Amino acid sequence: MPNVLITGCSSGIGRALADAFKSAGFDVWASARRESDVAALAAAGFNTVQLDVNDSAALQRLAEQLGELDVLINNAGYGAMGPLLDGGTEAMQRQFETNVFSIVGVTQALFAALRRRKGLVVNIGSVSGVLVTPFAGAYCASKAAVHALSDALRMELAPFGVRVLEVQPGAIDTRFAKNAGAQAELLINEKSPWWPLREGIRARSQASQNNPTSAEQFAAQVLKAVQQPTPPRLLRAGNGSRALPLMAALLPKALLEKVLKKRFGLSGVL
């Protein structure tokens, strides 16, 4: 029975992936950071790991526990919303620690286990790393970094028989928008130069819930790609996952920025 480790399984995409792979006969190791989420996963019949993906000691213990690994899905992450200068470098640091640094850390810790099985690394990126929008700069930058390091890892791991699949989701029906909205509200205050544009910030934090694809449908597409004899290097799945990168590629940059500024209330003068 092939095994898979999935990070960030408390809800949304991670939980849907865990359910899909379990139904397909995989031995699923599902991780979450909070004890209550781990308990819920255990009650659902998964092998569970309470894991902070940035805890190197915990990752080393996990590597020793697993021994061999067929598939690693780096899914843990979140979206920091709001003007870049409001969040500053501290917000960027937190965003990159979870969305970017953890992918390298988890993959490094589990590399030997993956090498033994000539396994597959699946990195969950986002179309937001391709089409950059205002009021999500930290998140977009982190996902663009995921795309770059996925390309580098794919080449560097190839001699060891370890493959890399990058997934770029579009709009997926999860708690992402609710969590992003709550995070944005903490940042929005009357002292911000962008206070008059707060409705645009709120609109961006909810943009991923415009006609979203269900997490279950998305997970089924990822599972199908993983099960192929030769998994693709890139999978785009979910509403907007193809149209938005195409827009970013074809529209002149100035026109694209004009459209996005209008969409999120940035066309005026403050």
Instruction: Name the DSSP letter for residue 171.
Output: B
Helix (H, G, I), strand (E, B) or coil at 135: coil
The total number of residues shown for the chain amounts to 270
Interhelix angle 137-157/84-96, nearest 10 degrees: 30
- In this structure, what is the dihedral angle of CA atoms 141, 147, 151, 154, given to the nearest 10 degrees? 130
139 is catalytic: yes
Q: Quote the CA–CA distance of 197 and 170 in Å, as a whole number.
A: 25
Q: Quote the CA–CA distance of 53 and 97 in Å, as a whole number.
A: 9
Catalytic residue among 139, 178, 261, 262: 139
Q: Is 25 left (phi over 0), alpha (psi -120 to 50) or beta?
A: left
Catalytic residue among 22, 78, 118, 143: 143
Contact criterion met (CB below 8 Å) for 120 and 164: yes
258 is catalytic: no
Closest CA to 153 of 117, 120, 191: 120
Helix (H, G, I), strand (E, B) or coil at 28: strand
Catalytic residues: 139, 143
